Amino acid sequence: MTDPFIAIRGLHKRYAEGDELRTIFADLNLDIARGSFVALLGQSGSGKSTLLNLLGGIDLPDAGYIRIDGQPLTELSETARTHFRRRQIGFVFQFFNLIPTLTVVENLLLPLELNGLATVAQRDQALALLDQVGLGQRRDSFPERLSGGEQQRLAIARALVHGPALLLADEPTGNLDAATGAHILELLLSLHRRAGTTIVMVTHSRDVAARADRVLVLDAGHMREIAP
């Protein structure tokens, strides 16, 4: 039997709220296959973004472990988790998180620079990706000059430019109008299919969830699976 690409076992996470401890996860177990697209649903405060942060090694659980592609993420030092995240994980944030003082192409190339991959060949591939998302003519613009849809397309390209094995997306279409959101989703899924990247996407949209391979719902610290 093939080992899962992502394996979560016995995951516990609590946060302090005043004098109280709020349980986010209690003994969470989950397997995710390589190359799959998983939609993550749940009410506000149910732990969706917390789970993304744990999968990205930004945060650590109180108990349990996370293994990604055989790497025991929860056993790594903070420095090792940072290096793993830079190499293997791409993030698409709801509010883009573009660097305003960098141009479109400079934002795009940042993951390559951080990973020491900014060779001529890699830069050429990155510029080709910029063309694929329709921003080839905006390479010297700054983020403030882009529309919301253009900023999100840039954020997606930046998340994928270094060829990550795992893409974590937090409401990537949440701040966009319906037409732009649908276009962004098609673009993301097209790039996903081409590269075989595993996607875990937080969303409130049933239309987005309907395109996923699996739909998981977080509720009161527990997870259940429903049909897409």
> 205-222: per-residue pLDDT in tens?
888 899 999 999 998 778
Per-residue pLDDT band for 96 (boundaries 50, 70, 90) equals: confident
d(CA 117, CA 125): 11
> DSSP string covering 11-49, please?
EEEEEEETTEEEEEEEEEEEEE-TT-EEEEEE-TTSSHH
203 pLDDT more than 80: yes
Mean pLDDT of the region 176-188:
80
The larger pLDDT score, comparing residue 180 to residue 84, is at: 84
177 pLDDT more than 90: no
Of 137, 154, 58, nearest in space to 102 by CA = 154
Identify the H or E element spanning 51: helix 48-55
35 pLDDT more than 80: yes
143 pLDDT more than 90: yes
Domains observed in the chain: 6-226 (3.40.50.300)
pTM: 0.90
Lowest average pLDDT, out of 8-17, 114-123, 175-184, 211-220, goes to 175-184
Specify the pLDDT at position 140: 95
Structural contact between residues 44 and 28, judged by C-beta atoms closer than 8 angstroms: no
The larger pLDDT score, comparing residue 211 to residue 2, is at: 211
20 contact partners, CB below 8 Å, separation of at least 6: none
CA–CA distances in Å: residue 118 to residues 61, 143, 206: 34, 21, 38
Amino acid code (one letter) for 28: L
Count of other CB atoms within 10 angstroms of residue 142 = 16
Structural contact between residues 70 and 34, judged by C-beta atoms closer than 8 angstroms: no
Per-residue pLDDT band for 1 (boundaries 50, 70, 90) equals: low
The larger pLDDT score, comparing residue 186 to residue 75, is at: 75
Mean pLDDT of the region 78-92:
92
Mean pLDDT of the region 107-124:
86
Structural contact between residues 86 and 115, judged by C-beta atoms closer than 8 angstroms: yes
For 80, which DSSP code? Answer: H
Identify the H or E element spanning 119: none
